Amino acid sequence: MDPINGDNQSVRTHTFSELLIILGQPRQIDGLQVTVTENERKAIPIFYPFRFDQYFFLMVSAGELSLKLNLVNHVIREGEFVLIEPGTICQFTGSSEFISSACISFSNDFLLKAGIYQKYISAFNLLGPNLNTHLVLEKEEIALLSNVFKMLYANIVTREKNEFSQEIIQHNFSLVIYELINVFYHHHRELKSKPTRKQDITASFMKLLIKRYKEERSVQFYAGQLAITPRYLTQTVKEVVGKTAGDLIDEMVITEAMILLNDPVCSIGQVAVLLQFSDQFFFSKFFKNKTGLTPSEYRKSKQHTFVIREELSVPSQERILSDIT
């Protein structure tokens, strides 16, 4: 599979079907995909940052995988686990030559169809951006999750031979989800308590922000959408996550700007247009005020990254992720 490089458009959102095509994987079940790999040699299929429209869980049982989630570097090592929520900006950056892993991707609709109780689904919703989704698992958790992942995968692969495949798969999927929720409960005790109104407001604000941050950058807009005052929204978000609503709006815009600026093909003027600033001057002023650097200065600090990206543009099915770290 040839690696795919991004263009100078805004950060892409890939649907479930699009990502399967890029990865060269056949569709298993609408809204659900499970893969289990054992000591496989992996080539990176996507070099550009993108968003995904489903939940994605990855557990590494051997080797390691490097990626960025909303510009934050993560290395998922043996015995570690990561949840990538819908809308997260994801970019794969490296891996060991061989890797063993278990992955499951599912939509919110599939969760509901499987009969997962709404109160448990909240474990996968934003209770605040400070929720740690990169976990170091205990040995018992690794063994248990490996077994339930493999069971679900086996039932999906053999579904055409089974008279009750749909019921069995839904049952196995529910088992996987409840075990995953149990792991999150174990590592995040706060998930066991019912979300407060302030946590609900913060979660609603974050979901709205992910959808509207390009065209709406005022606290007043988001407060109006949530039918509360700007002051109450600011105080609530600050109490729940330690940052104000305005801070999070700015961080979302800056994160997107940095990703776009990391692409040398995209001019600073184009970045300003994509982020819906009135002109390049106001964008540059905003960027420097928030980061201490002008867009040009930020680009110069990332020149080494540009060199790496140019090297990655050479098609190679056999390019291993570790070659680019």
Alpha helix stretches (DSSP H) within 73-164? 108-113, 118-121, 139-157
CB 186, CB 142: distance < 8 Å: no
Is 323's pLDDT higher than 80? no
As for how many domains the chain has, the answer is 2
CATH of the domain at 302: 1.10.10.60
Residues 263 and 302 in one domain: yes
pLDDT: is 168 or 164 the higher one? 168
For the entire predicted model, the pTM comes to: 0.64
Distances (CA, A) of 201 to 40, 132, 155, 195, 271: 43, 19, 39, 10, 31
Residues 272 and 134 in one domain: no
In one letter, which amino acid is 43?
Answer: A
Confirm whether 150 is domain-assigned: yes
Average pLDDT over residues 125-132: 47
Residues 166 and 41 in one domain: yes
Confirm whether 324 is domain-assigned: no
pLDDT at 22: 78
Residues 126 and 189 in one domain: yes
Distances (CA, A) of 173 to 35, 85, 149, 228: 13, 18, 9, 38
pLDDT grade for 282, boundaries at 50, 70 and 90? very high
Q: Which of 194, 218, 237 is the last residue of a domain?
A: 194
Summarised one tens digit per residue, pLDDT across range 248-277 is 899 889 888 888 887 788 899 999 999 999
- Per mean pLDDT, which of 61-65, 260-264, 300-304 is the most reliable? 61-65
Confirm whether 115 is domain-assigned: yes
- Whole-angstrom distance, CA of residue 234 vs CA of residue 112: 32
Is 295's pLDDT higher than 90? yes
- Whole-angstrom distance, CA of residue 112 vs CA of residue 184: 19
pLDDT grade for 87, boundaries at 50, 70 and 90? confident
pLDDT at 206: 83
CATH of the domain at 171: 2.60.120.280
Summarised one tens digit per residue, pLDDT across range 2-31 is 444 444 456 777 877 787 787 777 788 888
pLDDT grade for 122, boundaries at 50, 70 and 90? low
Of the candidates 88, 25, 28, the one whose C-alpha atom is nearest the C-alpha of residue 56 is 88
Summarised one tens digit per residue, pLDDT across range 175-204 is 888 888 888 778 776 555 666 788 788 878
Show the tokens assigned to 269. Answer: 């003027």
Residues 91 and 17 in one domain: yes
Show the tokens assigned to 65. Answer: 């995988």
CB 205, CB 219: distance < 8 Å: no
Summarised one tens digit per residue, pLDDT across range 96-121 is 888 898 989 988 888 777 776 555 55
pLDDT at 284: 95
Domain hosting residue 273, numbered range: 197-309
Residues 168 and 229 in one domain: no
pLDDT grade for 44, boundaries at 50, 70 and 90? low
pLDDT at 164: 79
The total of other beta-carbon atoms located within 10 Å of residue 48's CB is 19
- Whole-angstrom distance, CA of residue 209 vs CA of residue 222: 8
Show the tokens assigned to 252. Answer: 């979302």
Identify the helix (H) or strand (E) that includes residue 300.
helix 295-301
Show the tokens assigned to 89. Answer: 């900006």
- Whole-angstrom distance, CA of residue 11 vs CA of residue 14: 10
Show the tokens assigned to 8. Answer: 């100078």
> What is the 8-class DSSP label of residue 127?
S
pLDDT at 190: 58
User: Going by C-beta distance under 8 Å and a sequence separation of 6 or more, which residues neighbour residue 128?
Assistant: 199, 202, 203, 206, 240, 241
Q: Percent of the chain scored above 70 by pLDDT?
A: 80
- Per mean pLDDT, which of 1-15, 278-292, 309-323 is the most reliable? 278-292
- Per mean pLDDT, which of 67-71, 151-155, 187-191 is the most reliable? 151-155
Residues 213 and 297 in one domain: yes
Is 83's pLDDT higher than 90? no
Residues 169 and 20 in one domain: yes
Residues 251 and 117 in one domain: no
Mean pLDDT of all residues belonging to the chain:
79
